[in-house]
Structure 1
Amino acid sequence: MSENTEVVVIGGGYAGVMAANRLTSRDDVNVTLINPRPSFVERIRLHQLVAGTHAAVTDYKEVLGERVRLVVDTVTRIDAAGRALTLEHGGTVRYDHLVYAVGSGSADPRVPGAAEFAHPIATLEDAWRLRPVVEAASAKAPLTVVGAGPTGIETAAELAEQGRAVTLVCGGVLGPYLHPRGRRSVAGRLAALGVTVLDGPGTKVTAVTRDAVRLADGRELPSEVTVWTAGFGVPDLAVRSGLSTDALGRLLTDETLTSVDDPHIVAAGDSAAPSDLPLRMSCQAAGPLGAHAADTVLSRIDGERPATLTIGFAGQCISLGRRFGIFQFADKEDAAKGIHLGGRSGAKVKEFICKGTVKQLADEARKPGSYRLHKMFKEGRRRQEQLRAQHDGTPATAEHTV
């Protein structure tokens, strides 16, 4: 009787948990999930953690299959040639196949003073550190949120709804992803909450001090607490391990999510760059990518050629406090449409999606292989055109051996 195949997943976020659960659909596969935290982080609720309206964590028992072995540790190096992982607290873990799903965090802020005086919010630890800082600030203390993507908008709205004096510094356009109609809706709700929105070319932050934020147009804003949401980065594990990455550090893969360096490594979630054309960092992409990564591994175990990536988007949801929100509809290739759902209905959709992402993981844990969303779409025309232009008709591929 042959030994079981050992598959290790690095990272216990939306993509990693989905992949780990799905891999247990085969009895001859042993699955190990390595994650630095003992609990699953609902990252899309971290702004609520800062405001004290949600804990943003779920016990892994609720979302992880019983056959998945959880190791609470951090991988410090991948030895691709030896198929082994070095752990921070000592020891190694060997694998036959590896799923690289390390996620993302705050980008290194290059603005003078930002690293010292601004508070990121991209990780659970960031949010834990920020919450007591906000609580210690007086009710009328000026709070500045830098960055007008979903995280910045949600954080500004959440704090303003509690009566805080919040300024949102966009550094450009408010909600760049949004359609102009959706943007007007968000701006109106922020205004109703009392958020001062500073947008336009002159609002790029040039410096952060202990009690102020300086803008490119010369303005200096008083700020007792500055929250930094401008941009995301990825862990440098792949870079440190000598694997090929894009400029941001995401693992370069082909369209099956297989590393261009090694057919025994696949990537999923925010840390994946298929064909150097990565998808928007989001839990909306993470679930399907995690499922596809697992399917690629299972195909390789069977000696079959893995399917190429197909994924579709529906839109983007943003909470605007606890009572209002917006769902910005998009086409399947993630371009915003001119329609959106706002107000209380938007808030209900947002909450439904937040709960739904956790339920999808729990459902896959109970019935591995039941998730099908990543198979519902055909490859989009725009991505096909990008691939043809970038690779002259031949997408980047890894050696298809097991």
Structure 2
Amino acid sequence: MKKVLVLGGGFAGVEAAIYLKKEKNLEVTLVSDRDYFYIYPTSIWIPTGEKTAKDISIPLAQLGAKHGFEVMVDAVTALDAGAKRTTLASGRVLEGYDYIVVAMGQDKMKAKGIEHTLSICGKPEEAGAIKDRLDRLIEKGSGKIAMGFGGNAYDSSAVRGGPAFELLFNVNTLLKRKRIRDNFELTFFAPMEKPGQKMGEKALVMMDKMFGMTNIHKKVGSKITSFEADGINFEDGTKLESDLTMFITAGKGHSVLEASDLPLSDAGFVVT
């Protein structure tokens, strides 16, 4: 029987493990740095109270038992692809696997002052932190909220912008429902001239219409230079004031892969 090691407990890793176990002659082990599968696309409903983290988390042990793969909760710290050797944070070294599936996702690009932001696509607990910050502004009765995403100059596909649009519209709806929308300034921001362009020109036109209909401001086309506790600074010399900044950083290659012997692109992703 062949042995397969799957690195990563997100969508790619879990789907790979489930699919591979359909082959009767494969023994599959999945390694994840957390013991649950987090449904990121649904997290946009946590800040507005429609969902909780528990609602969108599934124990990996439960998935492993159902589909027949082993789950190992530990973080990957090093990978030697040539030797098929994986080192974990606990110090354990995994060897003897016939195949290794790398599905650890991407790391986030760092921006100056990023600690002043929260991300709906960051660690799962950040969605709850956004809710806490939003609740405090709602209790106050007014505020400035800015949500946006960044880009990777080496790989335009390493952008996850959809959740920023979705969460911003969700917040707009929540504030309207509470009859306090007019007391808030909502702004979408991004460094590129046409954020969301990969969705097509028609989608861009529709997005602009939605911004107009919901009175959401837009700040695009200028590089983000830094974040501060009270806003975002741009290369054109302007500052967008914000009491709550939600920012989805662009992705880059995982740090474990950057230190591995795998061939990588300029953005740090594995070249196949």
The verdict on a shared fold, with TM-score over 0.5 as the criterion, is yes
TM-score under structure 2 length normalisation: 0.80
Where does 1:163-182 land on structure 2 (aligned, <5 Å)?
163=175, 165-171=185-191, 172-182=193-203
Q: Is the 8 A contact 1:33 1:68 kept in 2?
A: yes
Q: In the alignment, which of 92, 101, 104 is matched to residue 103 of structure 2? A: 101
What's the C-alpha RMSD, in Å, of the aligned pairs?
A: 2.3
2:37 is aligned with 1:18: no
Q: Is the 8 A contact 2:230 2:241 kept in 1?
A: yes
Q: CA deviation at 1:81?
A: 4.2
Q: CA deviation at 1:191?
A: 2.9
Q: CA deviation at 1:30?
A: 0.9
Q: In the alignment, which of 20, 25, 40 is matched to residue 28 of structure 1? A: 25
Q: Take 2:261 and 2:149, find their aligned partners in 1: how far apart are those partners? A: 32
If asked which structure has higher relative contact order (CA below 8 Å, sep 6+), I would say 2
Q: In the alignment, which of 143, 146, 157 is matched to residue 169 of structure 2? A: 157
**Partner AA of 1:103 in structure 2:** G
Secondary structure of the residue aligned to 1:103 is coil
2:244 is aligned with 1:225: yes
Secondary structure of the residue aligned to 1:167 is strand
Secondary structure of the residue aligned to 2:126 is helix
Equivalence for 1:58: 58
Q: Take 2:37 and 2:248, find their aligned partners in 1: how far apart are those partners? A: 21
C-alpha change, 1:72 and 1:180, in structure 2 (3 Å) is same
Q: Take 2:81 and 2:119, find their aligned partners in 1: how far apart are those partners? A: 32
Moved runs in structure 1, 4+ residues, more than 6 A?
none
Equivalence for 1:348: none
C-alpha change, 1:234 and 1:50, in structure 2 (3 Å) is farther
C-alpha change, 1:156 and 1:105, in structure 2 (3 Å) is farther
**Partner AA of 1:73 in structure 2:** D
**Partner AA of 1:104 in structure 2:** Q
Secondary structure of the residue aligned to 2:132 is helix
2:232 is aligned with 1:213: yes
Equivalence for 2:136: 136
Question: CA deviation digits over 1:284-332, x for unaligned, max 9?
Answer: xxxxxxxxxxxxxxxxxxxxxxxxxxxxxxxxxxxxxxxxxxxxxxxxx
**Partner AA of 2:198 in structure 1:** Y
Secondary structure of the residue aligned to 1:184 is helix
Q: Take 2:82 and 2:233, find their aligned partners in 1: how far apart are those partners? A: 49
2:116 is aligned with 1:127: no
C-alpha change, 1:183 and 1:228, in structure 2 (3 Å) is same
Q: CA deviation at 1:20?
A: 0.8
Q: Is the 8 A contact 2:82 2:261 kept in 1?
A: no
Q: Is the 8 A contact 2:6 2:101 kept in 1?
A: yes
**Partner AA of 1:243 in structure 2:** L
Q: Is the 8 A contact 2:61 2:71 kept in 1?
A: no
Q: CA deviation at 1:80?
A: 3.0
Task: Give the number of equivalent residue pairs.
Answer: 245
**Partner AA of 1:158 in structure 2:** N
Q: Is the 8 A contact 1:106 1:122 kept in 2?
A: no
Q: CA deviation at 1:246?
A: 1.3
Equivalence for 1:116: 115
Q: Is the 8 A contact 1:105 1:122 kept in 2?
A: no
TM-score under structure 1 length normalisation: 0.56
C-alpha change, 1:90 and 1:50, in structure 2 (3 Å) is farther
C-alpha change, 1:178 and 1:80, in structure 2 (3 Å) is closer
Q: Take 2:108 and 2:82, find their aligned partners in 1: how far apart are those partners? A: 30
**Partner AA of 2:118 in structure 1:** H
Where does 1:163-202 land on structure 2 (aligned, <5 Å)?
163=175, 165-171=185-191, 172-199=193-220, 201=221
Q: Is the 8 A contact 1:122 1:232 kept in 2?
A: no
Q: Is the 8 A contact 1:106 1:121 kept in 2?
A: no
**Partner AA of 2:186 in structure 1:** V
Secondary structure of the residue aligned to 2:174 is coil
Equivalence for 1:362: none
2:2 is aligned with 1:5: yes
Q: Take 1:213 and 1:83, find their aligned partners in 2: how far apart are those partners? A: 44
**Partner AA of 2:215 in structure 1:** G
Q: Take 1:206 and 1:152, find their aligned partners in 2: how far apart are those partners? A: 19
Q: CA deviation at 1:122?
A: 2.0
**Partner AA of 2:57 in structure 1:** V
Q: Take 2:40 and 2:142, find their aligned partners in 1: how far apart are those partners? A: 28
Where does 1:227-266 land on structure 2 (aligned, <5 Å)?
227-253=246-272
Secondary structure of the residue aligned to 1:17 is helix
Secondary structure of the residue aligned to 2:67 is coil
Q: CA deviation at 1:90?
A: 2.9
